[in-house]
Structure 1
């Protein structure tokens, strides 16, 4: 891994663990095992590092959604795959990072909000259309309303006021809201497939 990639990878890891404000360029250099001067040779300042790091996270997320859609056998498998990805990402993300971005880096936060309102919502709508075409989701669904409902479910799962970490485990929250969502929109055929996935998961556990 070249120096620039290592710096960026280390910075993202530290931002996700400690938040953005608490991490200094010196901290990043020390964790990388290089001098602070070397960090500044690749990134003009911390703002540049935060900009590029967060853009990479959003790009990676968007790329995953596209790949998952192409490789999943059906809409239900696609939705469960994207939910697993989001849950795993949340496990390594300190909510302080999101708070710091919103408060101290409004330009970057606007990109995050745009991705949530456009990229994620678009992916949910496309999944609904796919499921309806495959006969797995009910034909009378109002796509815009149901997609927004799903987006609000996901946002609530990340909200510590709704699901405090000391009372709720993220995996359990996501499993519950996703199962409820799927069984609510699925046809009989789709419900059978959902139950197969759930049974397979229980057998593994």
Structure 2
């Protein structure tokens, strides 16, 4: 593939994901994306055969990029609390610029859902190790069951999506009233001090 077509493929992906996030996936046609970029439908379909392929590539690219950013951030920071709070800020920004309809529409694409499920399973294992590290650093209590806490946090995230709370409450409200309360419960005084300082700075 030529350099031009590779660049165009990336532009299509970026434009499509922005349109999906703003309007929902179902509302955006392949024609709409082609029109936004002033390219022909034929060119669109030569690079992405259908909307699910385009969406899958967009989700995969975004997920891998986010993981690389988090890994880089974790490497440059001294403790797990900094990483948690950075993830929180990233999540808030993600949901702030994404229509609730986007999350509703995702369920109609089985290949995408299968990828997200696989990614979620991998993230659970990483979170368990992360909790163990936080305990060693003195931010989390030593009496917690790391595997169980991982499942609890994962269940809260799934419930948030399944019950469509994103359509009823802001992501800040959900995280502050559910995730942060749960997180506070497993923190030591050292962890609570960092958490409270962050929450005050966000008020």
Contact preservation (8 Å) 1:8, 1:49: yes
Q: 2:34 aligns with which of 7, 29, 38?
A: 29
Q: Shift of the alpha carbon at 1:160?
A: 4.8
Q: Which runs of 5+ in 1 are unaligned?
A: none
Partner of 2:59: 54
Cα shift readout 1:46-102 (whole Å, capped 9, x = no counterpart) = 333222112112212322332232223311111111122122112222333333332
Cα shift readout 1:3-34 (whole Å, capped 9, x = no counterpart) = 21111111111122222232211100111122
Tell me the distance in 2 between the aligned counterparts of 1:131 and 1:160.
30
Count of residue pairs the alignment pairs up: 198
Q: Calculate the aligned-residue CA RMSD, in Å.
A: 2.2
Q: 1:75 aligns with which of 71, 76, 80?
A: 80
Partner of 1:42: 47
Contact preservation (8 Å) 1:137, 1:185: yes
Say if 1:47 and 1:192 are closer, same or farther in 2 by CA, change over 3 A.
closer
Contact preservation (8 Å) 2:24, 2:99: yes
Q: 2:110 aligns with which of 95, 99, 106?
A: 106
Contact preservation (8 Å) 2:135, 2:142: yes
Q: 2:152 aligns with which of 144, 149, 153?
A: 149
Tell me the distance in 1 between the aligned counterparts of 2:42 and 2:167.
39
Q: Shift of the alpha carbon at 1:159?
A: 4.6
Tell me the distance in 2 between the aligned counterparts of 1:144 and 1:35.
51
Report the TM-score when normalising by structure 2. Answer: 0.85
My pick for the range that moved more, 53-62 or 35-44, is 35-44
Contact preservation (8 Å) 2:160, 2:166: no
Report the TM-score when normalising by structure 1. Answer: 0.85
